[in-house]
């Protein structure tokens, strides 16, 4: 880095994306392992991978705080034949209607169902809801995955449009 000319640095710095260049001290063996992982999993360059790790840690930290507000998904695989389970799932959803943004249901076979619920609300409430649902008899497997919108609150505002919207409009 010390041998890189100032002009070369400036050319390489992605200033237009609002990024800040930092240097890190890392053990060579650790860096080598990391580079190996990046190549094997096609995770992009070191900078992108480090940004991903930092965001992951920030989201984890935010989601670990029960006082915070979270968004996330609850994935369930359950046995449709289990007595009263469907009713109990519907009841649980209605009891937390303000937290359940959407539900996707897939019939996996003649007995098994996959359900994915998009959730939003106080982290403590979402955890309690997930615990209640995952604890129901007949729910075979499931997991709550929490994310956060608060972690990104400081990011620069940009116009928000999804590709699908553009495609839909173009098709009209
Ligand atoms: Ni089903």
Distance 62 CA to ligand 1 centre (A): 33
Tens of pLDDT along 143-172?
Answer: 999 998 877 776 666 667 777 765 554 433
Query: What is the pLDDT of the chain when averaged over all its residues?
Result: 85
DSSP notation for the chain: -TTS-HHHHHHH--GGGT---------HHHHHHHHHHHHHHT---HHHHHHHHHHHHHHHHHHT-TTSEEEEEEEEEEETTSTTHHHHHHHHHHHTTTTEEEEEEEE-SSSEEEEEEEEEEEHHHHHHHHHHHHTSTTEEEEEEEEE-SGGGTTSPP-----HHHHHHHHH-
Tens of pLDDT along 99-145?
Answer: 999 999 999 999 999 999 999 999 999 999 999 999 999 999 999 99
Per-domain boundaries in the chain: 28-64, 69-151
Distance 139 CA to ligand 1 centre (A): 12
Distance 60 CA to ligand 1 centre (A): 31
Please report the pLDDT score of residue 44 as a whole number.
Answer: 87
Distance 165 CA to ligand 1 centre (A): 30
Q: What is the CATH number of domain 69-151?
A: 3.30.70.1150
């Amino acid at each position: 880095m010390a041998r890189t000319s100032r002009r070369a640095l400036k050319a390489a710095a992605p200033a237009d994306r609002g990024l800040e260049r930092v240097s890190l001290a890392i053990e060579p063996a650790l860096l080598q392992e990391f580079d190996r992982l990046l190549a094997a999993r096609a995770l992009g360059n070191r900078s992108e991978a480090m940004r991903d790790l930092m965001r992951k840690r920030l989201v984890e930290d935010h989601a670990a705080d029960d006082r915070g507000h979270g968004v996330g998904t609850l994935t369930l695989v359950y046995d449709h034949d289990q007595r009263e389970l469907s009713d109990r799932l519907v009841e649980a959803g209605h009891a937390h209607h303000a937290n359940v943004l959407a539900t996707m249901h897939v019939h996996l076979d003649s007995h098994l169902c996959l359900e994915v619920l998009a959730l939003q609300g106080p982290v403590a409430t979402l955890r309690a809801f997930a615990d209640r649902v995952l604890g129901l008899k007949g729910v075979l497997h499931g997991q709550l995955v929490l994310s956060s919108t608060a972690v990104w609150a400081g990011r620069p505002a940009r116009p928000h449009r999804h590709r699908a919207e553009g495609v839909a409009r173009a098709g009209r």
